[in-house]
Amino acid sequence: MIDPNNPASVAQAEIRKAANYASDVLTTWRFVHVEVDSMGPVWGNSVFAEAVDVFAPDGLDIFGWTVKLKHIELEPNRFENGILIDAAGNQFKIESNTKREVNVAYKEKAKPRTGIVELRDDDRLQNGQNVPMPDTGKLDSALKAAFVVPAIRQDNNAVRFELHASVTEDENLGIAHLKDLYDWDDLNKNSPKYWSAYLLGAFQPRPNEDNDPNDEKEKLLEVDMGNRGEATVFLETIWDYAPEVNKKYFGKITEKGILLRQHVTPRDMEQEYVLQAIAQVLASSRQEDPNPFDWVHEGPTRFPNELFRISEIYLDKIRRNAAPGRPYLLYA
């Protein structure tokens, strides 16, 4: 670059301090259109059965009662911390259950009656209540670090309800396939010129992953990391898991520092896992990952060290992705 007003020789007239004449580096921001759906009214999270016998373990009712059922087979400890309602309308806290017996807590001057009883899960949502739209309140601030602005549209709040849903269908266990539930209007628009992502608020994953009982493993989200860009958050399981997260992580010290400097609420957990779901969608690609082992060593966010902050590896993958579920933009 030459200054034409400099009468010196070409070598002397060359402008060597480009920073004095060049503009600042420009940052390209991108919109992502996030379509949000949720399931309709809950059903099936209570069970009716016939109680044929009620007895006290070891003959001492101070240890509670065991209610024997017939013509039913329960998932062991599915109703832990739930409620048994007997034929007279009396309620008893469920401490545990086997396939055909339910153990309830002692209640002064009360004994469960035989006859038809109802067993209710300890779920926040009961039959007839709608599954709410997932809370996307932290997406805008968190995605700024990736130079992405979300345009969020709440769409269908009556997606067919399924008590359990997964990316692997199993009719024998009553597990619906998530792809049969998605109602993504913008699916075919997703492209480098029109970023689009889909988020479904579902109820629970497979029965052995829904944190019922509490010592069971938990699956809090499902993400299509391949061709499309869809994510599901299992809201009931997320809410149920929040107290266990505090017990597991609050104040613990690891090589990465102090985990969870504050107790998380069910809402915190919901917002955190919505962010994790969308971060994974935006980082997903159809092309072979040039750094495949990065995913193993770092998750989509910095949780549980920090809430609502995307990890550096995922920020990098989002920034160089052409579109959710599309090939990466590789460095030149």
Mean pLDDT by 10 residues, the chain (332 residues): 57 58 74 96 92 84 87 90 94 94 90 95 90 97 96 96 82 74 89 91 91 82 74 94 88 72 91 96 71 63 92 91 66 32
Question: Shortest CA distance to 33 belongs to which of 179, 183, 182, 190?
Answer: 190
Strand 30-38 with 148-154, pairing: parallel
Element (H, E) at 139: helix 139-143
- What φ, ψ does residue 239 adopt, rounded to 5°? -60, -40
Confidence at residue 291, expressed as pLDDT on a 0 to 100 scale:
58
In this structure, what token pair is assigned to residue 191?
């492209």
30-42+127-319: CATH class: alpha beta
- Tell how far CA 180 is from the center of its chain: 19
Confidence at residue 328, expressed as pLDDT on a 0 to 100 scale:
47
Domains of the chain: which residue ranges? 30-42+127-319, 46-120
Question: Shortest CA distance to 164 belongs to which of 99, 209, 213, 218?
Answer: 209
Confidence at residue 288, expressed as pLDDT on a 0 to 100 scale:
56
Angstrom CA distances, 23 to 16, 27, 104, 146, 316, stand at 15, 12, 72, 22, 24
Instruction: Quote the pTM value.
Output: 0.82
DSSP label of 239: H
Question: Shortest CA distance to 174 belongs to which of 38, 100, 75?
Answer: 75
Confidence at residue 332, expressed as pLDDT on a 0 to 100 scale:
28
Question: Shortest CA distance to 203 belongs to which of 125, 122, 280?
Answer: 125
Confidence at residue 144, expressed as pLDDT on a 0 to 100 scale:
96
DSSP, collapsed to helix, strand or coil, labels residue 39 as: strand
| HEC string for 171-189 | HHHCEEEHHHCCCCCCHHH
Homologous superfamily of 46-120:
Ubiquitin-activating enzyme E1, FCCH domain (2.40.30.180)
Residues 6-15 as b or e (16 or more Cβ within 10 Å = b): eeeeeeeeee
Confidence at residue 60, expressed as pLDDT on a 0 to 100 scale:
67
